[in-house]
Amino acid sequence: MKSAWVESDARAVVARYEGDAIPADIALRVYTTRLLGRDPKLVLHGGGNTSVKTRMRDLNGEETGVLCVKGSGWDMGRIEPAGLPAVRLDNLRKSRTRESMSDEEMVRIQRANLIDPMAPNPSVETLLHAFLPHRFVDHTHATAVLGLVDQENSRDLCDEVYGARMGFVRYIMPGFALAKEAADVFDADPDVEGLILDKHGLFTFGDTARQAYERMIEMVTLAEARLAKNRKAVFVSAQLPQSAGALAEIAPILRGAAALPDPKIEGAWKRLILDFRGSDAILNFVGGAEAARYATAGVITPDHTIRTKNWPMIVPAPDGGRLADFRTGVREAATAFAERYLAYFARNNARAGGNRSMLDPAPRVVLVPGLGLFGLGRTKKDARVAADLAEAAVEAITEAEAIGRYSPIGEADMFDVEYWSLEQAKLGTAKELPLAGQIAVVTGAAGAIGFATAKALAAAGAEVALLDIDADAVTGKARAIGGTALALPCDVTDDASVRGAFDTIAETFGGVDIVVSNAGAAFQGKIGAVDDATLRGSFELNFFSHQRVARNAVRIMLAQGTGGCLLFNASKQAINPGPDFGPYGLPKAATLFLARQYALDYGADGIRSNAVNADRIRSGLLTDDFIAERAKARGVSEADYMAGNLLKREVTADDVAQAFLHQALALKTTADVTTVDGGNIAAALR
């Protein structure tokens, strides 16, 4: 591992913050924290922290010694000075004289001594930073070091690699007790350049930001060098089928098996989003004959447990020609995983006093021999985090097995961290959005109604895939939504294009729960004079495309086994045809009945099917020029034309989007047609 320190970059950061009156030591602390945070072999998703001891004025203008330490919720790779809340150092150090301290009391003391009471909570390892005398302190969960410390003979290995340069701290859960132990180990040999925390990670320190950082790099490099020596062959392969099958077919099966029925709401599921990884290293790991031993032994460092749980779910190797058998095997594996988790919780909750509330028993990592691994989470972001941590675990466990035998913390320690209030606080307490964990697909998503609907579904918590024939336009719309919104060019009149789009969605997110079949165009002509090509073209786009989209959606929904929701844009032309709009109204009428047929045929599978009957919406079908033309022909203003309904209100694309959102949330409504037109008796269903 090479140092990423660049002197000119360091000076530039100091200069950048000088104008904001940020001292050079804090600016350099920001610089090296970013260097650490941007290297995934050192830090992943909150797994580390840094600090600097300095002096600053408090709110009364009095100068005092402080510890500026990474704050909760800040990403080390993108940290700013505000992410290093300042805490009164002397008061923190006084607490070392105590024999014990509860976690809650520790947090109160840290918050009570913040210079800025509005600052984020300091790291749970703040006291460890405070008890060390050095000006700059760095902490990471470096993958290579975990390969050394996750061994039964971890102390012997670390003595071999580091000699007297690093102190060794036995495993203790983070908090006051660990801080005291680490300080005692340092006091026993103040010449050490850092501390190894067994089963956890390492600290390095120095008088300057560069010294602490480059000591970190050196210690990790020494670990890498040891891991490269005297390696043995690892992961003898199990016998696997010749072909695992398609990722797009396997992912929905896994996703459905991992979903949990909501005990409070009939018909609701707690679904998870998937993120796939399939490198050669992962394939060797998941395909090993002893995977059930090393892969389920426990987490490589304690704080991973809140995002990955303590072990993955391992499913049978899929055979591409026998996916029905695979689905049965996956369901059995999911049941076994939940039962193991329930037993684990019961044992350890009783040991811990019986006052914990069990988290859900769904896996957060799934290993598929012959294919790879999946991270699972309530959002795509959470799924990526789980997959990142699982990939890091593959590397660390591979290294550990190559020089010995992987041996992480035990079950009791894992439980204590998983159900530790300070770790759970990292996940946040924000109320979940109503469509969290669901995957929504919108066709015609570059248009007014499609885009408004995709925005509404994303705002309600769904992961959204936007499909449109205009690749540039739909990419721009997905970018406008932001987050993990997925843009896919798709011609809904082409079977292969639709199939390919849905397969990509399954590969990206794991499946499909909600589909808004919205793409269409207004074909015109007097029905007795219109040519067959025009009529067939309209049916292809305004009817058969809906069938293609729905058929592919149902294919994936049935594989998941957790129901779903089909939504169709039927238009008022399906009920109240207008003059010379027969080529448009006829296929729309057929689409309305298509929606009801899906409700009839797939209701027993929990798949709902509804439609929206909208009228007079500004869109690609109803352009400004068209509105002006129709208003002039009727002798009214454009505003009056657009509000030509019983309520005298213009109906917008956002109104239609809210109707689709309502239908997506209505778990006991199917075969419904919702009218969104401001009131048009001629278009009302009878």
**pLDDT tens for residues 134-168?**
999 999 999 999 999 999 999 999 999 999 999 99
Residue keyed to tokens 């390892």: 125
One-letter amino acid identity for 517? S
Percent with pLDDT over 70 in the chain: 99
Give the pLDDT confidence score for residue 426 in this predicted structure: 58
Residues 385 and 307: their CA atoms lie apart, in Å, by 7
CA 615, 618, 619, 624 dihedral sign is positive
Q: Is 432 exposed, middle or buried (0-12, 13-18, 19+ CB in 10 A)?
A: exposed
**pLDDT tens for residues 86-137?**
999 999 999 999 999 999 999 999 999 999 999 999 999 999 999 999 999 9
* Residues sharing a CB contact under 8 Å with residue 429, sequence separation 6 or more, in sequence order: none
Mean pLDDT for all residues in the chain:
94
Average pLDDT score over residue span 454-461: 98
Alpha-helix runs per DSSP H in 352-469: 380-403, 411-418, 421-424, 448-459
**pLDDT tens for residues 406-421?**
999 999 999 999 998 8
pLDDT over 80 (residue 430): no
Q: Which residues are 566's β-sheet partners?
A: 515, 609
CA distances from residue 536 to 312, 414, 528, 584, 679 in whole angstroms, order as listed: 52, 63, 14, 11, 31
Q: Are strands 48-57 and 136-140 parallel, antiparallel or unpaired?
A: antiparallel
Average pLDDT score over residue span 676-686: 85
Band (pLDDT 50/70/90 cuts) for residue 233 is: confident
Terminus-to-terminus CA distance in the chain, angstroms?
73
Give the pLDDT confidence score for residue 28 in this predicted structure: 98
| 549 or 237, greater pLDDT | 549
**pLDDT tens for residues 368-417?**
999 999 999 999 999 999 999 999 999 999 999 999 999 999 999 999 99
Q: Are 511 and 565 in contact (CB under 8 A)?
A: no
Q: What is the DSSP letter of 544?
A: I
Give the pLDDT confidence score for residue 47 in this predicted structure: 81
**Which is catalytic among the residues 584, 598, 602, 641?**
584
Band (pLDDT 50/70/90 cuts) for residue 427 is: low
Q: Using CA atoms in the order 91, 96, 98, 101, what is the torsion angle rounded to 10 degrees?
A: 80
Question: What is the residue-wise DSSP string for 275-325?
Answer: EEE--HHHHHHHTBTTHHHHTTS--SSGGGHHHH-SS-EE-PPP-TT-HHH
Give the pLDDT confidence score for residue 577 in this predicted structure: 82
Band (pLDDT 50/70/90 cuts) for residue 686 is: low
Known catalytic residue at 584: yes
Residues 127 and 33: their CA atoms lie apart, in Å, by 18
Average pLDDT score over residue span 310-316: 97
Q: Are 234 and 213 in contact (CB under 8 A)?
A: no
Give the pLDDT confidence score for residue 429 in this predicted structure: 61
Average pLDDT score over residue span 33-49: 92
pLDDT over 90 (residue 496): yes
Q: Are strands 514-517 and 564-569 parallel, antiparallel or unpaired?
A: parallel
Question: What 3-state DSSP class applies to 10?
Answer: helix
**pLDDT tens for residues 62-86?**
999 999 999 988 999 999 999 999 9
CA distances from residue 20 to 16, 24, 51, 390 in whole angstroms, order as listed: 8, 11, 20, 40
One-letter amino acid identity for 248? A
Please, what is the Cα angle at 266 between 264 and 267, to 5 degrees? 125
**pLDDT tens for residues 338-369?**
999 999 999 999 999 999 999 999 999 999 99
* Residues sharing a CB contact under 8 Å with residue 250, sequence separation 6 or more, in sequence order: 244, 318, 323, 326, 368, 371
Which pair of tokens denotes residue 531?
Answer: 């040519």
Average pLDDT score over residue span 431-458: 97
Average pLDDT score over residue span 286-294: 96
Alpha-helix runs per DSSP H in 510-637: 532-539, 545-560, 582-602, 624-634
pLDDT over 80 (residue 563): yes
Q: Which of 205-214, 464-473, 570-579 has the lowest mean pLDDT?
A: 570-579
pLDDT over 90 (residue 682): no
Please, what is the Cα angle at 571 between 513 and 503, to 5 degrees? 30
Give the pLDDT confidence score for residue 423 in this predicted structure: 67
Q: Are 291 and 369 in contact (CB under 8 A)?
A: yes
CA 188, 192, 193, 194 dihedral sign is negative
Give the pLDDT confidence score for residue 633 in this predicted structure: 80
Which pair of tokens denotes residue 174?
Answer: 């983070």
pLDDT over 80 (residue 617): yes
Question: What 3-state DSSP class applies to 610?
Answer: strand
Which pair of tokens denotes residue 235?
Answer: 């992961």
